[in-house]
Structure 1
């Protein structure tokens, strides 16, 4: 990736959202996974406001992340793709009882009697 954005001080694996890592998530190709691993920590900190932009491209990254428009900056598109994958990964479907009460072994047996 041709960019003036700094590489992260440590590798970014996204383990909070992807237990087996970004590369095994199925959302990203090999190149995207490697770029997220190298630059993800910087992207995360710039987007979160814990890291101040040091150059024009980093400033543009921060500005473009605050809009919903499509950006021409590749790092912005990649980070937005990561955030969309995290959001998609969070959706969880489960089957539960509508009354919110947990079933016990005794109530199950009573239902069959």
Structure 2
């Protein structure tokens, strides 16, 4: 199998079905330009950040620097990637009912048994 080139990564559209099953443009998290930039440049930035593809030009160097957090984003693709990373890496809410799952009980707490007397 031949090594993929930069153009191969730019041709393939980037989709994240786990976090954005209906697409970036329908999520409400991104503007139209940001969604288009992610769709076009997402695979390239992933390949650069994962070390699969070596940077070939100054644009690739800038994309990699932003992905690694070395420099501030300037282009729409860089800004979209940074926003995408903050969205997918935000902390998840555990539960609206508390911290502990319902099946887990605390044995250290004293148990109190209540008896109800009902007079007929």
Common fold, TM-score beyond 0.5? yes
Q: Which residue of 1 aligns with 2:94?
A: 93
Aligned residues: 100
- Residue of structure 2 in register with 1:107 after alignment: none
Partner of 2:39 in structure 1?
37
Q: Which residue does 1:11 correspond to in 2?
A: 13
Give, in whole Å, the separation in 2 of the partners of 1:97 and 1:66: 33
Contact 1:11 1:41 in 2 (8 A): yes
Q: CA deviation at 1:82?
A: 0.9
* TM-score normalized by the length of structure 1: 0.67
Does the CA-based 8 Å contact 1:22-1:28 persist in structure 2? yes
RCO comparison, higher one (Cα < 8 Å, 6+): 1
Give the distance between the partners of 2:76 and 2:25, measured in 1 at CA. 19
Give, in whole Å, the separation in 2 of the partners of 1:18 and 1:64: 22
- Give TM-score scaled by structure 2 length: 0.64
- The answer to whether residue 103 in structure 2 is matched with residue 102 in structure 1 is yes
Mark the structure with the bigger radius of gyration: 2
Unaligned runs of 5+ in 1: 104-110
Aligned pairs for 1:15-26 within 5 A: 15-26=17-28
- 2:83 corresponds, among 81, 84, 96, to 81
Q: What SS does the corresponding residue of 1:41 show, helix, strand or coil?
A: helix
The residue number in structure 2 matching 1:56 is 58
Deviation for aligned residue 1:97: 6.7
| Corresponding residue SS for 1:8 | helix
